[in-house]
Amino acid sequence: MKTKILFLFFLMTAVVLSVNAQELAQNSNSLIIGAYRSYKDVDDFFIQVPTAVEIPFANEFIERLDFAVLDVTTNSFEPYFFIKETTSNKIPVSVKTNPVVYNTGSMIDDKMNTNTDFLLPEDTQGRIQIILTSVKPITSSVLTTLLADNVALPSTIEIRALVGGQNRIIVANKKMDQPTIRFPQTVSGQWTITFSFGQPLRISELRLLQENMVTTRKRAIRFLAQPEHTYRIYFNPDRSVIASVGEAGNLLGLEDKEIILLFSGSSQNNPNYIIADVDKDGVADSHDNCVSISNPEQQDINNSPYARIFL
């Protein structure tokens, strides 16, 4: 009798632990998925053995090169390899600031793990001019400003371009409410971006889209697919996020004949996307007057028109 009771106890404990583990995994997956703004479904293919597959991402506008490959059948994330092969005549750009700030090259090095810091003055709102100069004119209509994690967007932005000897206003000073700013197509060899900011500003990348650059590009996600499984690839997160995955096989050193090229469906908006809000006060990090301290009313204890000082 005692043996049966002990067996039943261990069995029930195992069931409870299994359920708890599943709930934890589900919650963890939800946190990962909630960071991504878009996804593609990969479900229209047939394989009989585990096979490396490749899904193109050539035409999507992508701010951050962070992805998550979800095996929908097992509800687990899969290791992947991101392929980026570009042949282009990208126009070299140099950067300087007014006032002078060091390490400005980190904003144009195509690396998300390097940053340029702009400190906030004690008694006034921060203001910085960033001047991009190219060896020959750039045709552009898009500027993207990528920030480090837990950093609010600048309060305002103004964009000027030197055209025909005139420093023309391309985007008049306005509230900055998103990282990507679009404007009428302009050709210039010198661009001046002016930010005002009420919180310390840390820029990872400042990208002026070069529309006159001749480019041959390959961007794709490669992963090991299982027979009778379906997959969903999440992309374009608004913050750095890493999904826990198992051990990755050799996805890089494969011959073309060992890879199946799949054409997924069109990109979709992620209905489970939750904008970054570290302090969970209901105000997105990009617009929060203090990213790390809850302040849902965005109160300013000294009513300063410049610095954002919070309770």
**Residue 10 included in any domain:** no
Cα 279 to Cα 292: distance, rounded to the nearest angstrom: 5
Is-contact 226 71, C-beta < 8 A?
A: yes
Separation CA 298–CA 311 (nearest Å): 8
pLDDT tens-digit profile of 166-190? 999 999 999 999 999 999 999 999 9
| 230 lies in the same domain as 206 | no
The overall average pLDDT reported for the chain is: 84
Lowest mean pLDDT among 160-164, 171-175, 257-261: 257-261
143: pLDDT confidence band, cut at 50, 70 and 90?
very high
Q: 155 and 188 in one domain? A: yes
pLDDT range class, residue 148, cuts 50, 70, 90: very high
At 253 the pLDDT is: 77
Nearest to 57 by CA among 245, 223, 208, 276: 223
* Residues β-bridged to residue 144: 180, 207
Cβ partners under 8 Å of residue 13, min gap 6: none
Query: What whole-number distance in Å separates Cα of residue 165 and Cα of residue 242?
Result: 47
Lowest-confidence pick of 10-24, 88-102, 131-145, 209-223: 10-24
68 vs 87, more confident: 68
Q: Do 242 and 257 belong to one domain?
A: yes
Do 104 and 205 reside in the same domain of the chain?
yes
- The mean per-residue pLDDT over the stretch 247-267 comes to 82
pLDDT at residue 120, as a whole number: 94
Q: Which residues of 178-188 are buried (b: 16+ CB within 10 A; e: fewer)?
A: ebebeeeebeb
164 and 152, same domain (yes or no)? yes
Find which of 1-15, 35-49, 273-287 is predicted with most confidence, using mean pLDDT.
Answer: 35-49
**Which residues make Cβ contacts (< 8 Å) with residue 143, sequence separation at least 6?**
159, 180, 181, 183, 191, 193, 206, 207, 208, 209
**Structure confidence at residue 96 (pLDDT):** 97
pLDDT of 266 > 80? The answer is yes
Lowest mean per-residue pLDDT among 34-38, 176-180, 248-252:
248-252
CATH of the domain at 176: 2.60.120.260
Give pLDDT, residue 308.
46
190 and 221, same domain (yes or no): no
Predicted local confidence at residue 11, as pLDDT: 42
> Are 102 and 202 members of one domain?
yes
The answer to whether residue 204 sits within a structural domain is yes
User: Which amino acid appears at position 102 of this protein?
Assistant: Y
Q: Which residue has the higher pLDDT, 169 or 84?
A: 169
Q: Is residue 10 scored above 80 in pLDDT?
A: no
Q: How confident is residue 9, by pLDDT bands cut at 50, 70 and 90? A: very low
**Domain annotation covers residue 54:** yes
For residue 73, the model assigns a pLDDT of 95
pLDDT at 12 over 50: no
Tokens (6 digits) for 267: 């990109």
Tell me the pLDDT tens digit for each residue of 277-304.
766 666 666 656 666 566 666 666 555 4
Residues of the chain above pLDDT 70, percent: 79
81 and 98 part of one domain: no
Residue at 238 is within a domain:
yes
Residue 242 confidence class, pLDDT cut points 50, 70, 90: confident
Q: How many structural domains comprise the chain?
A: 2
Domain hosting 151: range is 90-213
pLDDT of residue 196 exceeding 70:
yes
- If asked whether residues 105 and 175 sit together in one domain, one would say yes
In a domain, 51, yes or no: yes
Residues 207 and 63 in one domain: no
Tell me if 29 is assigned to some domain: no
- For residue 207, being part of any structural domain is answered with yes
